[in-house]
Amino acid sequence: MYKLHQYQQTLVNQARQKLSQKSKSVLIVSPAGSGKSVIIAEIARLALLKPDGQVMFTVHRKELIEQIKRSFQDNDVDLNRCTVMTVGKIASRLDSLPKPTLIITDETHHSLAKTYQSIYEYYSDVPRLGFSASPWRMNGKGLGNVYDSMVEGPSVEWLIKNNYLAPYKYYSVKLVDDEKLKRSSTGDFTNKSIDYAIGRTIFGDVISTYKKVADGKQAIVYCHSIEFSKYIAEQFNKAGIKAAHADSKTPTKEREQIMSNFKKGILQVISNVDLISEGFNVPDCSVEDAINIING
């Protein structure tokens, strides 16, 4: 079983206290790297101490399912009494799944979407917990309509100062006037306007920059389009740096093999499009390259 840090235990206690005070839905805000999977696993374990306990855990990417299942197993959570599925699968199986006594939603800033709402409405009498490092959407909408109370964990600055997170170095060169880019209804920059900007902007050499500041380290590259991500992976491979591209349309077996190879260190670089932005745990990865124009 996990031995929680004090700040993690405090979040668990505060969330359970909110629920015991008849709060129907509680949002837990905790930054990336703070050990949300540990906190989630402990809450699930405690929920199953009740004889009739049944946990439903929703994720928005299937790549995260095995990861959370391992966290549950490491914390003695009985998976036979847990439903761990993507939100889409849960929504399409509501009539056949066991009714939960607690719903836990990871990366819950997505929960304003209709699929999540259909689940919450179906189980309207079931208490809910949601986790997010950023409890808002780029269009400015918050989660007040989804959760009626919130508990907040420590900041990134506090975690670094108290040696729970490693300090980081950030390199950036702004070459595009983002005021001229167009935004979608979500508040993100549109791919079309990013393509337009890239076509008229001279970018620094990604490969030479990687070799200069992070040579030999595992890196995750975030790109705005599939075409650009494939191009970046190709350039890394040409430079003798083992790399692969993956996105949501990559065949499942191929994508799983790429993720496995990266976690094992067989690949040095993985270039992706909106696939590894949340909940992806690779302790040996020390570099993240946002070489596109970062949305928002």
**Domains in the chain: boundaries:** 6-161, 178-290
- The CA distance from 151 to 149, in Å, is 7
Topology (CATH level 3) of domain 6-161:
Rossmann fold (3.40.50)
Whether the Cβ atoms of residue 58 and residue 104 lie closer than 8 Å to each other: yes
pLDDT given for residue 294 in this prediction: 35
**Interval 70-116: pLDDT, tens:** 999 999 999 999 999 999 999 999 999 999 999 999 888 888 889 99
Whether the Cβ atoms of residue 289 and residue 206 lie closer than 8 Å to each other: yes
- The pair of three-digit structure tokens given for residue 240, joined into one six-digit string: 């003798």
- The CA distance from 34 to 85, in Å, is 23
The length of the chain, given as a count of residues: 296
Which CATH homologous superfamily contains domain 178-290? P-loop containing nucleotide triphosphate hydrolases (3.40.50.300)
- The pair of three-digit structure tokens given for residue 86, joined into one six-digit string: 């993507």
- The pair of three-digit structure tokens given for residue 35, joined into one six-digit string: 């050990």
- Is pLDDT at 141 greater than 70 in this prediction? no
DSSP 168-220: --------S-GGGS-B-TTSSBPHHHHHHHHTT-----HHHHHHHHHTTS-EE
pLDDT given for residue 285 in this prediction: 64
Alpha-carbon Rg for the chain, nearest whole angstrom, is 20
- The CA distance from 140 to 178, in Å, is 18
Best-predicted range by mean pLDDT (80-84, 111-115, 133-137, 140-144): 80-84
22 vs 128, more confident: 128
- Is pLDDT at 7 greater than 80 in this prediction? yes
- Is pLDDT at 274 greater than 90 in this prediction? no
Amino acid making up residue 74: D
- Name residue 104's beta-bridge partners: 57, 129
Work out the pLDDT band at 263, boundaries 50, 70, 90.
confident
- The CA distance from 256 to 56, in Å, is 24
Whether the Cβ atoms of residue 102 and residue 75 lie closer than 8 Å to each other: no
- Is pLDDT at 295 greater than 60 in this prediction? no
**Interval 224-262: pLDDT, tens:** 778 888 988 998 999 999 999 998 788 888 988 998 898
Question: What is the number of alpha carbons within 13 Å of residue 227 lying toward its C-beta?
Answer: 5
Mean pLDDT of 26-36: 91
- 178-290 shares the fold of 6-161: yes
Query: Could you tell me which residues come within 8 angstroms of residue 17 by beta carbon, excluding any fewer than 6 positions away?
Result: none
The per-type count for the chain, helices as H runs and strands as E runs, is 10, 10
What's the pTM value of the predicted model, to 2 decimals?
Answer: 0.73
Q: From the CB of residue 22, how many other CB atoms can be counted at a distance below 10 Å? A: 8
